[in-house]
Structure 1
Amino acid sequence: MNGPDERLRRLLGGDDTAWLLGRARRRMEQGRPLTGTVTLPAATPAQRRAIEALLGRRAGAGASLSVSLEDVDQVLRAGGVAEGGLPEAVVRLGGPVRDLAGETAALTAAWNDAFARLDALVAGRPELTGWRAWLESTGLVRRLAGTATEARPLLGALAAILARLPSPGLPLGRLAAETCGDAHALDEGRPLATLALSAARALGGQPYAGEGGADARRAAWAAVGVHLDDLSSLVLCLGLPGDERTPTGRMLHAARAAGEPCVLTLRQLRRHETPFAADLVRVCENPVVVAAAADELGASCPPLVCGGGRPSAAAWRLLDLLAAGGATFAYHGDFDWGGVAIAAALHERLGFRPWRFDTAAYQAVSSPARLTGRPSPTPWDPDLSAAMAARGVRVEEELVLAELIADLAG
């Protein structure tokens, strides 16, 4: 019996024409027309004979073999082998053709839907724009989740977490419980913890991938006010008055009398419920300022608190206790966009007067360091952000250390 299917298999379904059928199928999958010429480099004699048998004429000479798809289509139609021509032959010999363009569009739509809640949040948080682009370029979410279906709840939980950050004084387990309904959702090693930690680094002005290890993880969370435990969240201070009535107050009192810096834990500050009485408290970003003040001023140094970058939960607790005691604040930090973001958070929560941290002070310092990153507003001095963007220079606290110590001495 020599029916249409047998004739089609004999002409186009053998091993020696498989390359031609495969080329045609790929074009159909991609939505491309079956027109033009396809070429097989280094064709075998058997492959050349199979094409000659299909077309009914010689297939040229040379090492390569070129075939017109229109000619194949015409032969199949004219011979009654496939009324629909080459497209019909591809389906009859190999089954339905995939719609790759449609599959790609559906997959893209599914991933866009998975990211929708997170993208809506990022649209209102410009400080996360670079991090969001990094997620896309690295494919981190796709590696962690696998499919868009699995990614959707993961990214929804991530958006809920980011809506709470920065959130000074919040334990990590509580953040996980209140946003995900699982106190262990942000435990190290979980996909959500990996994504949330990279976002915390972004908010803290740190590299998104960051360093490994417990200390780096603790520091990244502390930068957005989240602490892993009451003992790992610390704040450095010098010259705070303290008191004689409470354990923490006595520690501060003794350290001030000795002219030595004091490190307090969040546990100590949470157990201390009485406000600390102080007038003006100066706040710096880097520990080097505290070290230099202790060396040069000792017990005569006025109240000084170090945020250590973005304030930890312990730092926020100490500043709140000082504010409750009537203190006002003067702030100095690094003239870079990370330092500006830290200052903006402090200004929003407690307010401060700039301590050599305004436009005039920025313009007065020479620095070879280039300013990188995304500009941020400076609400305590709106002109400062524009001046930094225009000048493009980063000024670290170490460059004005002598002036800061002189202010403290005065």
Structure 2
Amino acid sequence: MSDGIPAKAREYLARPGFAGLWRSLRKRLENNELAIRGWVVVELDYEAAEDVSGLLGRLIGPGRARVSLTDLDAALRSSAVAHGLVTVVGEMTGGPLTDRKAVSRTRREQKLDVWARWEAAIADSGLDAAPWVSRWQEGVRRAGLISRAGNDVDTVIRRTVAVLRALSETIPLGDRDATAMAEALPAAPSFELSELAGRACSDAHALDEGQLTAALVLRALAAATGESVPKTSVARRELWALSGVTPDRVSGTVMAWSVRPPGEHLWARSMRDRADLGLVSHVTLQEWHAAADRLWAAPGEQVFACENPQVLQAAARADVKTPLLCTSGNPATVALRVIDCLIAGGAVVRYHGDFDTAGVRIAKRLFERGVRPWRYAVEDYLASIDRARLPLTGTVPVTPWSPGLASAMEAHQLAVHEEALLDVLLDDLASGSAAQWSLGSRHPGM
């Protein structure tokens, strides 16, 4: 016996003829707030029709029958069963009934409450007026990311907002000008990923691959930068780097050709050995830390730097002996630290990059660190525009090292990538003639 239903009554209700009726009633009641009203329509064979007729005390024939919930409830209560319809249906179908509408309503209310807390956190962050936020929010809703947080939702919201606030200190995430983010990218490295996670989340692993907070922040960065939501590990690392975050100590590198650090330290000797063997070195942040207190070049030595790996590859193929670094686009943290180390040690670093909007931004940041131009002035641009016919996109930043460069690029609306100048750049590297290394070197401070 269970739930107080007498054993004989329970045995009667468990007869096969009732099974279909109980199933239909369970579905009806759960979808109708457990309300005892209306009808269910069931197919009854002869045995089932006889059983239902006996319960209701009136004749019901086999076939398609309409059974009143009110009549069933009254019949059960007045019979030896002595329980109402909701209790009986639950008992005969495996467990208590659930008011599905009430459950759904509770879930909606809980979700609305979560979104209210989410919206409040964004408003408090100071980012609410940024033009990308609505796109981000809609994408998060569609992806159902917040619902995945479960009981950790408040922690995830707090961490996500904290990370975005930390990033907004170095990139204009909160700017109401829709073009501000585009003009600021690619951003100079400002954080290592674990450092950012530790500072904003008090957990160095909060932004690791697969973490929900990381997914939410990356979606925000994608919306803010106009990039696609990254689907692969490589794409996620690239978006972090674009936003000024170094994902780890081994994936970001600076490429080095013919770099021969002085001294008898094991690392310096290994770099010289690789240069003597004609090998390109991919220096990671991990390696930089291992050699951080070492000179990378002799004081006064000229070290060149380029943006595109094809330039370094051509230099290696030509076996030029002049030291050359390659940032492979936006410099990773290790590239900036190596360049800073070279300058601090008295070396002269000269840089050439693409004549396009992103290239000028990269060059501007490097020149502000003490790097000098290498064929990267207005005269160099004007002399090269007949080599490539690529359209210029975006607004060119100011170019204080060569005041006419930005206006010339805007006037011609043409971009010139480094590959188009390989012969000129290789001649410079091979000649070792300091006078030819940059027309831009005539400008003050360069």
- Offset of residue 195 of structure 1: 4.6
Give the aligned partner of residue 286 of structure 1: 308
1:395 to 405, 416, 419: 416
**For the residues of structure 1 that align with 2:216 and 2:407, how far apart are their CA atoms?**
32
Structure 1's 198 and 380: CA in aligned 2 closer, same or farther, altered over 3 A? farther
**For the residues of structure 1 that align with 2:162 and 2:241, how far apart are their CA atoms?**
23
Unaligned runs of 5+ in 2: 1-114, 148-153, 172-186, 432-446
Give the aligned partner of residue 290 of structure 2: 271
**For the residues of structure 2 that align with 1:257 and 1:190, how far apart are their CA atoms?**
44
Normalising by structure 2, we get a TM-score of 0.57
Give the aligned partner of residue 188 of structure 1: 209
1:316 to 326, 336, 345: 336
**For the residues of structure 2 that align with 1:202 and 1:390, how far apart are their CA atoms?**
30
Is the 8 Å Cα contact of residues 158 and 192 (structure 1) preserved in structure 2? no
Q: Match of 2:274, as an amino acid?
A: A
Bigger mean CA deviation after superposition, 226-235 or 188-197: 188-197
- Offset of residue 190 of structure 1: 4.0
Structure 1's 218 and 136: CA in aligned 2 closer, same or farther, altered over 3 A? same
**For the residues of structure 1 that align with 2:190 and 2:232, how far apart are their CA atoms?**
22
1:242 to 248, 261, 264: 261
Bigger mean CA deviation after superposition, 165-174 or 385-394: 165-174
Give the aligned partner of residue 114 of structure 1: 122
Give the aligned partner of residue 372 of structure 1: 393
1:358 aligns with 2:356: no
Bigger mean CA deviation after superposition, 303-312 or 133-142: 133-142
Alpha-carbon RMSD: 3.4
**For the residues of structure 2 that align with 1:387 and 1:198, how far apart are their CA atoms?**
36
**For the residues of structure 1 that align with 2:424 and 2:122, how far apart are their CA atoms?**
52
Give the aligned partner of residue 427 of structure 2: 406
Structure 1's 292 and 198: CA in aligned 2 closer, same or farther, altered over 3 A? farther
Structure 1's 304 and 195: CA in aligned 2 closer, same or farther, altered over 3 A? farther
Give the aligned partner of residue 233 of structure 2: 214
1:227 to 242, 246, 268: 246
**For the residues of structure 2 that align with 1:375 and 1:151, how far apart are their CA atoms?**
36
SS at match of 2:325: strand
Structure 1's 346 and 137: CA in aligned 2 closer, same or farther, altered over 3 A? same
**For the residues of structure 1 that align with 2:223 and 2:134, how far apart are their CA atoms?**
15
Give the aligned partner of residue 134 of structure 2: 136
Structure 1's 260 and 168: CA in aligned 2 closer, same or farther, altered over 3 A? same
Is the 8 Å Cα contact of residues 302 and 408 (structure 1) preserved in structure 2? yes
Residue by residue, what CA displacement relative to the aligned partner does 1:348-379 show, whole Å, maximum 9, x if unpaired? 2x222221212122222222211112432323
- Offset of residue 162 of structure 1: 3.1
Bigger mean CA deviation after superposition, 333-342 or 379-388: 379-388
> Percent identity at matched positions?
36
Residue by residue, what CA displacement relative to the aligned partner does 1:212-239 show, whole Å, maximum 9, x if unpaired? 3222322333345533332222210112
SS at match of 1:193: helix
Give the aligned partner of residue 163 of structure 1: 169
Residue by residue, what CA displacement relative to the aligned partner does 1:100-159 show, whole Å, maximum 9, x if unpaired? xxxxxxx99x95983464448xx9xxxxxxxx544434633555558xx99687435312
Structure 1's 199 and 328: CA in aligned 2 closer, same or farther, altered over 3 A? farther
1:328 aligns with 2:348: yes
Is the 8 Å Cα contact of residues 307 and 326 (structure 2) preserved in structure 1? yes
Is the 8 Å Cα contact of residues 161 and 179 (structure 1) preserved in structure 2? no
SS at match of 1:251: helix
Greater Rg by CA: 2
Structure 1's 163 and 359: CA in aligned 2 closer, same or farther, altered over 3 A? same
Residue by residue, what CA displacement relative to the aligned partner does 1:66-110 show, whole Å, maximum 9, x if unpaired? xxxxxxxxxxxxxxxxxxxxxxxxxxxxxxxxxxxxxxxxx99x9
Residue by residue, what CA displacement relative to the aligned partner does 1:11-41 show, whole Å, maximum 9, x if unpaired? xxxxxxxxxxxxxxxxxxxxxxxxxxxxxxx
Give the aligned partner of residue 73 of structure 1: none
The ranges of structure 1 where at least 4 consecutive aligned residues each deviate by more than 6 angstroms after the TM superposition are: 149-153
Is the 8 Å Cα contact of residues 115 and 152 (structure 1) preserved in structure 2? no
SS at match of 2:414: coil
Bigger mean CA deviation after superposition, 161-170 or 258-267: 161-170
**For the residues of structure 2 that align with 1:133 and 1:181, how far apart are their CA atoms?**
29
Residue by residue, what CA displacement relative to the aligned partner does 1:169-214 show, whole Å, maximum 9, x if unpaired? 74311111112323233233445423533566799x8x62254322
Is the 8 Å Cα contact of residues 121 and 158 (structure 2) preserved in structure 1? yes
SS at match of 1:268: helix
Q: Match of 1:229, as an amino acid?
A: D
The alignment covers a number of residue pairs equal to 289
1:382 to 375, 392, 403: 403
Structure 1's 167 and 390: CA in aligned 2 closer, same or farther, altered over 3 A? closer
Residue by residue, what CA displacement relative to the aligned partner does 1:284-328 show, whole Å, maximum 9, x if unpaired? 0011000001111x1x42111101111112212221221222112
Structure 1's 112 and 381: CA in aligned 2 closer, same or farther, altered over 3 A? farther
Structure 1's 282 and 258: CA in aligned 2 closer, same or farther, altered over 3 A? same
SS at match of 2:335: helix
Structure 1's 189 and 215: CA in aligned 2 closer, same or farther, altered over 3 A? same
Trace 1:42-121 onto structure 2 (pairs within 5 A). Answer: 114-115=122-123, 117-119=125-127
SS at match of 2:349: strand
SS at match of 1:263: strand
SS at match of 2:254: strand
Q: Match of 1:184, as an amino acid?
A: H
Give the aligned partner of residue 254 of structure 1: 273
Unaligned runs of 5+ in 1: 1-106, 124-131
SS at match of 1:235: strand
**For the residues of structure 1 that align with 2:163 and 2:250, how far apart are their CA atoms?**
27
Normalising by structure 1, we get a TM-score of 0.61
Structure 1's 339 and 195: CA in aligned 2 closer, same or farther, altered over 3 A? farther
Is the 8 Å Cα contact of residues 199 and 208 (structure 1) preserved in structure 2? no
**For the residues of structure 1 that align with 2:259 and 2:336, how far apart are their CA atoms?**
15
